[in-house]
Amino acid sequence: MTNTEDVRRILDEWLKSCTRRGRLSRNTIAVGIVVLDSLRVKCPLERSDILSAGGEIKGARSGLPKILGKYGLSGFLKEATTRQVHQDGQKLLNALGFGKAFASQTDVQRDDVLQELISVLTGEAGKWLARQNLKIACARDRSPRAWIAEILTQAQGRSAGRVEQHLVGAKLAEVYPGMDIPVLPGAAGDAQTGRAGDFQIGTTVFHVTSAPGDAVIRKAETNHKAGLHPVVLVPKREEARANFVVEHLGMADRVTVLAIEDFFSVNILEKSKGQHQVFVETLKRIVREYNRRVEQAETDRSLRIDII
């Protein structure tokens, strides 16, 4: 493999193979840039140069912001953490023979080609950065529940639960002013942050998820055994599934399952003192707090909400 067209074909095929549900993830874009940047530094690469003992792409975690910053992508992603993304990186490395695809090129030729390939990925990153915010039309004749349902519908398949988490955090901040409601990235796991769940108020611990499964209910069970009351918050469309999992694991009398839409509706009604004209003002306060949390914790700013 010696010419630019052949190597570009490898990248194109890799991008297609990594496109899932019609979307290329930010993590995959970032790890691709890390791989190509590493080849600019040394080519060919030894496995130990680019892969950790556990098979992770070196530079995809703590070193990622510095690498992305070289290509004008500061703030695009803090770290690439999923197992899938490291498999994607290995796939690209294998396709390029760990750099052997550039064997017949001079150093200058190779660097020119690698920069061209990186520009393809920065272009994909640009598409992500250009995504529009979530937009919600607060029609006065619709219920608060319908407003929240609209937000969650727009977020479906786009936020991996981050919208749900930050909405709940904003709602709790509205209900408990002055209390420290943590602001953490949606990708931050409970174990690595030392939390019992996403949020805790007194002895009540909230688990927020867009895709309820055994793992979150097992975590809720652990919290129950520790003397806490677990509340699992899910979009309405997932409420039946969450209740099924709770029943299947024998936790129905120890775990509360609530739809996020209902969780919000009650709060908006209470905070508005039942006055319909105040509903929108209450929602606007929650959305302002939500946007603050997204800006503080997430690199994907398109998760912000615009009320139109």
DSSP string, 94-136: HHTGGGGGGTTS-HHHHHHHHHHHHHHHHHHHHHHHTPPPEEE
Q: Look up the pTM and report it.
A: 0.66
User: Do residue 123 and residue 209 come from a single domain?
Assistant: no
User: Do residue 34 and residue 110 come from a single domain?
Assistant: yes
User: Do residue 93 and residue 219 come from a single domain?
Assistant: no
pLDDT by 10s per residue, the chain, length 308 = 456 788 999 999 999 999 987 888 889 999 999 999 999 999 999 999 999 988 899 999 888 989 998 898 877 888 887 788 899 999 999 999 999 999 888 898 999 999 999 999 999 988 887 777 888 877 777 888 888 999 998 888 677 788 999 999 999 999 999 899 999 887 655 444 457 889 999 999 999 998 888 889 999 999 999 999 999 999 999 999 999 999 999 999 999 999 999 998 887 877 776 666 578 888 889 999 999 999 998 877 888 999 88
Of 68, 102, 129, at which residue does a domain stop?
A: 129
How distant is the alpha carbon of residue 112 from its chain centre?
Answer: 33
Q: Which two tokens stand for residue 218?
A: 């097992």
User: Do residue 163 and residue 109 come from a single domain?
Assistant: no
Owning domain of residue 41: 4-129
User: Do residue 93 and residue 189 come from a single domain?
Assistant: no
Give the integer Cα–Cα distance in Å for 170 and 229: 21
User: Do residue 110 and residue 138 come from a single domain?
Assistant: no
User: Do residue 142 and residue 276 come from a single domain?
Assistant: yes
User: Do residue 85 and residue 55 come from a single domain?
Assistant: yes
User: Do residue 19 and residue 144 come from a single domain?
Assistant: no
Of 108, 129, 150, at which residue does a domain stop?
A: 129
User: Do residue 172 and residue 80 come from a single domain?
Assistant: no
User: Do residue 94 and residue 140 come from a single domain?
Assistant: no
User: Do residue 142 and residue 290 come from a single domain?
Assistant: yes
Domains: count for the chain: 2
